[in-house]
């Protein structure tokens, strides 16, 4: 087994990296130095490194900025997962993709089931939903695990706990 951790320096990626290293997992980690929106770069990396598991923790996460930088959000959140899926499936790698609850419209009165219809209402949400769709399309849904999360919690970068603390202080 060999894990490729994509987005290894981000809030989620840095925690995953530390945990994988502590477990002694064979690991190769990348961040901005490898543009996942570049299929040739991704395919070349997968050919060289031969990961058996790709964990995609990379994303354009500035939700509000995505409204005016929608193309940037789509490069990271839609084209990136598509390219990871294309290169990974060609080489037999499984993929864990981190997505978001923003793919839903937020109007439900009970928790969403994983098969609930998606209805993204923002540029960020559309880009993440499109990434899910493209990833499943290029892999046929084989060996793909989708994790939809809401806020991330961590010691570095923006987090839900830190934001609520700031709002209370204000």
Using the 8-state DSSP alphabet, how is residue 54 labeled? Answer: E
Q: Which residues of 83-115 are buried (b: 16+ CB within 10 A; e: fewer)?
A: bbbbbbbeeebbbbbbbbebbbeeeeeeeeeee
124 catalytically annotated? yes
**Phi-psi domain of 111 (left: phi exceeds 0; alpha: psi -120 through 50; beta: other):** beta
13 class by beta-carbon count within 10 Å (0-12 exposed, 13-18 middle, 19+ buried): buried
Give the helix, strand, coil percentages of the chain, each rounded to 5. 45, 15, 40
Given 60, 102, 112, 124, the catalytic residue: 124
10, 34 in Cβ contact below 8 A? no
Q: Catalytic residue positions?
A: 124
């Amino acid at each position: 087994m060999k894990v490729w951790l994509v987005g290894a320096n981000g809030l989620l990626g840095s925690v995953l990296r530390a945990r994988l290293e502590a477990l002694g997992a064979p690991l190769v980690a990348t961040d901005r130095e490898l543009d996942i929106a570049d299929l040739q770069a991704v395919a070349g990396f997968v050919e060289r490194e031969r990961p058996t598991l790709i964990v995609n923790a990379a994303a354009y996460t500035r939700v509000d900025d995505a409204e005016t930088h929608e193309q940037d959000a789509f490069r990271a959140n839609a084209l990136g997962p598509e390219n990871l899926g294309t290169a990974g499936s060609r080489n037999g790698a499984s993929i864990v993709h981190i997505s978001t609850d923003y793919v839903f419209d937020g109007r439900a009165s009970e928790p969403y089931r994983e098969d609930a219809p998606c209805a993204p209402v923002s540029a960020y949400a559309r880009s993440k939903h499109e990434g899910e769709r493209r990833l499943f399309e290029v892999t046929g849904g084989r060996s793909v695990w989708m994790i939809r999360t809401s806020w991330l919690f961590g010691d570095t970068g923006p987090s839900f706990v830190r934001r609520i603390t700031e709002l209370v202080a204000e």
